[in-house]
Amino acid sequence: MRLRSTLNPEEQSNLVEGPTKYRKGPNQSELACGICNETYYVNEVTFKQAIRAMEQGLDNPFCCDQCEAEYEEMSH
């Protein structure tokens, strides 16, 4: 037995995939991209992962999708 929201994820009203430029749905926590320094809003899980990474001393604990794509393109 599975939940209907699992069967039809597009019908979930609070579903947001990835960081957003504005507060939207579960993306309520503010983070700055470690490369471009743009402000993004992320969900609580992503925010906690970034905080843990900062506590461990990582330089860029959060990277936006655009900077990550550019970095991957440059590495090829």
Cα(20)–Cα(41) distance, integer angstroms: 5
Q: Say what the pLDDT of residue 56 is.
A: 92
Tracing tokens 């001393």 back to the chain, one arrives at 57
Domain ranges of the chain: 17-75
Contact indicator for 62, 47 with CB cutoff of 8 Å: no
Q: Say what the pLDDT of residue 1 is.
A: 45
The answer to whether the predicted template modeling score (pTM) of the entire model surpasses 0.85 is no
Q: How many CB atoms lie within 10 A of CB 66?
A: 12
